[in-house]
Amino acid sequence: MSEAAPYSAQEERAVRDAAARGETPACPRCGVAMSPREVGGGSFGLGYARRREWLICPSCRRSVLFDRRRGTRN
C-alpha cells in the first residue's frame, strides 16, 4: 500500500472544529472516531507550557496535531 496522503486543509479544519466543540472527531476519510492524545509542550523545547492535542485515526493512521486555545481563534 502506498503511503496515505495527508488530510486536506478542509478536512483538518473539520477535525479541529469538532475537537473545539468538545466532540470526539471522526476521520473525514474513514468515518471512525479518532483517538485523542495529549502532547506536552515541554518535550518540544518551546520553553513554555502549551496544550496540544494529537488526533489519530486508528484506521488510516492520518493524524492532526493542533494547539488547543481558549478564547479567540486565529
Q: How far is the CB of 7 from Zn ion (least distance, A)?
A: 9
Contacts to Zn ion by CB under 5 A: 27, 29-30, 57, 59-60
Measuring CA to CA, which residue among 72, 70, 71, 62 is closest to residue 26? 62
| CB nearer to Zn ion: pick between 30 and 46 | 30
| CB nearer to Zn ion: pick between 12 and 50 | 12
| CB nearer to Zn ion: pick between 9 and 49 | 9
